[in-house]
A and B are shown apart, each in its own frame.
Chain A
Amino acid sequence: MEKKRVYLDNNATTPLHPQVQQMMAESFSLFGNPSSMHEFGRQARASIEAARESIAAFLGAQSDEIIFVGSGSEANNTVLNLSSCCASHECRSGCDGNVRMITTKIEHPCVLETAKCLRERGVDVQYVGVDAQGVIDAGHLREVLRQPATIVSAMMANNEIGTIQDIKALARITHEAGAYFHTDAVQAVGKIPVDVREMEVDFLSFSAHKIYGPKGVGGLYVRKGVPFCPFIRGGHQERGRRAGTENTLGIIGMAAALRLRAQEMAAEAERLAGLKKILRDGLSRTVPDIRFNGHPAQALPGTLNVSIEGVEGEAALLYLDLEGIAVSTGSACSSGSLDPSHVLLAVGASPELAHGSIRISMGRQTTREDLDYFLEKFAAIVKKIRAMSTAYHHK
């Protein structure tokens, strides 16, 4: 008998949409270097530019405002490193070399680690906090912006707890203070409506593999007229803004994935919200002493994060794995570090509840039956772990 497998880790990555897979398979022969002038190159170039146009339309941008990169992490690194570029002599953008960056405490590691590195290189970096539901403290942002800043970077939807920010409001506050605004929208694009003009952002990062596209390809929106320095230097690809031969197949796949999201996103969001309610109610009914993390309404429709008293997250994750169920955890033990999820600590969870958290992230292939199976197995696993836990006492 084939083992039952339930994938509930769609914020980590998603399977390719069958139609994306088909589209990519049909494009395998496009091997020409898009920078070549001959026909092989021109064919690849044409596909890339068609992809750029459709992605730009999806985001409400113009084609030449989209740069293709290798990942969401690269997109974020590119934007954040603009500030260190501005601090150096190479900068042609005309800033005075006084760089101050503001970000938040719940960003993805690719932002936080870059910020840390910039700080070590002399950039003034400050972090804005969030409330108990993970909503960025706009008042705090206003306060830190009393001193002039270069750039503010805030994620649109949080990968761990799913909380969605009011990006437009944050961008306005930022612009009023004369700084540029970047949002890491890797978890948002293709899941909830994203329009760069409507939100008035200067930079926006996105990625293909979180929305049923291929891995190894992402994109960066850079509003026209905003200063920009390339992060990866070399050839003149992407109009000199990102060197390296384009990932033709990946770019075609990303465009296909986003076209499909345009068709499927709204209905799927509604379906996922329904499933999340079932999951939430089911957990509340079958597992005592749990706490849901994140915003109850302003959150990604498919993401549910829950802390389970007395249960260490990695143990729960691995017992679930043995039942064929895939989730993720904010426990430090899963990552090899000693600190539990920085996001959960930022929303004020105790270290114990942060270590004991599970993230369930659903996707287009998730069914009601999957959740029933998860709920059944999870209740038993929690019981088993709590029976041997030094940190759980019946109330």
Chain B
Amino acid sequence: MSDWVYSDVVKDHFMNPRNVLVDPEVFAEDGRGVVGNIKCGDEMMFVIKVDKEKEIIEDCRWKTYGCASAIASTSILSEIVKGMTLAQAFNITPKDIAAKLGNLPEHKIHCSVLGDKALRAAINDYYRRSGKPEKIREEKAKIICQCMNVTDHEIEDAVLEGVRSYVALQEHTKLGTVCGQCREEAIRLMDTYIQKHFLNG
């Protein structure tokens, strides 16, 4: 047990972040992803260098405007992905990272999802730059609540931010507050995302 606010692994990566992007010109990236927004309190940039023959991540760097969990989780992500194929790297989930970090408190999970989102954006950017647009895997949002125009992504974000009940979901996203037809699908999705991000196994 650590006597600090987060685990020893988080502390270590927070104190000594690995692979921070110091000089973008020297690094000469092959792909770049930027996600989040400073207005919302966090932003993440992830850049990768790719072995074009084998489609393996040779090297990577990152930068963030973010809290300790964002810094630590992206630092550890930057260590994990080196040597991975692009396909492997694309499939890393926030849960994988949290497990490596010795777990994060629930309300901090949403801070740690930025790293892998930025990584996926960087991989897509690499495909775009290298003339392989057919390989791009965009996460297209699907509208669940037609009345209030709320997507599955927003439901996922709400879950990451701590929503655990339909009432809380309605409050958070305004979903289902007009005709109410989307109720069942929304609940099913909410449960799926809770399973995906917070339950073991």
List the B side residues contacting A319 at CB < 8 Å: 14
List the B side residues contacting A338 at CB < 8 Å: 40-41, 110, 161
Q: Does A390 contact B (CB under 8 A)?
A: yes
Known interface pairs A318-B14, A338-B40, A338-B161; A390-B63 also in contact (CB < 8 Å)? yes
Q: Does B155 contact A (CB under 8 A)?
A: no
A390 and B70 CA atoms in complex are apart in Å by: 13
Q: Does A389 contact B (CB under 8 A)?
A: yes
Question: How many chain A residues touch B (Cβ–Cβ < 8 Å)?
Answer: 25
User: How far in angstroms is the closest Cβ of chain B from A56?
Assistant: 41
Q: Does B107 contact A (CB under 8 A)?
A: yes
Contact B22 A312 (CB under 8 A): no
Contact B34 A351 (CB under 8 A): no
Contact of B111 among A322, A333, A351 (CB under 8 A): A333
Contact A352 B39 (CB under 8 A): yes
B51-74: contact bitstring with A at CB < 8 Å (1 yes, 0 no)? 000000000001111111111000
Sampled A-B contacts (5; CB under 8 Å): A315-B68, A334-B67, A340-B41, A352-B38, A387-B22
A321 and B65 CA atoms in complex are apart in Å by: 19
Q: Does B156 contact A (CB under 8 A)?
A: no
Contact B42 A388 (CB under 8 A): no
Q: Does A355 contact B (CB under 8 A)?
A: yes
Give the residue among B15, B21, B69, B71 with the most A Cβ atoms within 10 A: B71
Q: Does A332 contact B (CB under 8 A)?
A: yes
Known interface pairs A336-B107, A387-B22, A390-B45; A331-B67 also in contact (CB < 8 Å)? yes
User: How far in angstroms is the closest Cβ of chain B from A334?
Assistant: 8
Chain B residues numbered 139-161 whose CB sits less than 8 Å from any CB in chain A: 161
Residue of A whose beta carbon sits closest to that of B118 = A390
B1-12: contact bitstring with A at CB < 8 Å (1 yes, 0 no)? 000110000010
B30-41: contact bitstring with A at CB < 8 Å (1 yes, 0 no)? 000010001111
Contact A336 B67 (CB under 8 A): no
A352 and B36 CA atoms in complex are apart in Å by: 13
A247-268: contact bitstring with B at CB < 8 Å (1 yes, 0 no)? 0000000000000000000000
User: How far in angstroms is the closest Cβ of chain A from B166?
Assistant: 19
**B-binding residues in A (CB < 8 A):** 310, 312, 314-315, 318-319, 321-322, 331-334, 336, 338, 340, 350-352, 355, 387-392
List the A side residues contacting B21 at CB < 8 Å: 388
Contact B67 A322 (CB under 8 A): no
**A-binding residues in B (CB < 8 A):** 4-5, 11, 14-15, 17, 20-22, 34, 38-45, 62-71, 107-108, 110-111, 161-162
- Besides the contacts A333-B67, A390-B64, A392-B65, what 6 more A-B pairs have beta carbons closer than 8 Å? A312-B66, A312-B70, A318-B68, A333-B69, A351-B40, A390-B44
List the A side residues contacting B68 at CB < 8 Å: 314-315, 318
Contact A389 B64 (CB under 8 A): yes
List the B side residues contacting A392 at CB < 8 Å: 65
A319 and B108 CA atoms in complex are apart in Å by: 17
Residue of B whose beta carbon sits closest to that of A336 = B107
Contact A390 B34 (CB under 8 A): yes
User: How far in angstroms is the closest Cβ of chain B from A370?
Assistant: 22
Contact of B17 among A310, A352, A388 (CB under 8 A): A388
A310 and B44 CA atoms in complex are apart in Å by: 13
List the A side residues contacting B14 at CB < 8 Å: 315, 318-319
User: How far in angstroms is the closest Cβ of chain B from A313?
Assistant: 8
Known interface pairs A318-B14, A338-B161; A312-B63 also in contact (CB < 8 Å)? no
User: How far in angstroms is the closest Cβ of chain B from A393?
Assistant: 12
Known interface pairs A318-B14, A338-B161; A391-B43 also in contact (CB < 8 Å)? yes
A387 and B64 CA atoms in complex are apart in Å by: 10
A300 and B43 CA atoms in complex are apart in Å by: 34
User: How far in angstroms is the closest Cβ of chain B from A388?
Assistant: 5
A351 and B41 CA atoms in complex are apart in Å by: 8
User: How far in angstroms is the closest Cβ of chain A from B6?
Assistant: 8
Contact B41 A391 (CB under 8 A): no
User: How far in angstroms is the closest Cβ of chain A from B14?
Assistant: 7
User: How far in angstroms is the closest Cβ of chain A from B90?
Assistant: 22
Contact B17 A312 (CB under 8 A): no
List the A side residues contacting B45 at CB < 8 Å: 390
User: How far in angstroms is the closest Cβ of chain B from A325?
Assistant: 14
Contact B65 A390 (CB under 8 A): yes
Contact A333 B41 (CB under 8 A): yes
Give the residue among A336, A388, A392 with the most B Cβ atoms within 10 A: A388
Contact A312 B15 (CB under 8 A): no
Contact of A355 among B5, B17, B41, B161 (CB under 8 A): B41
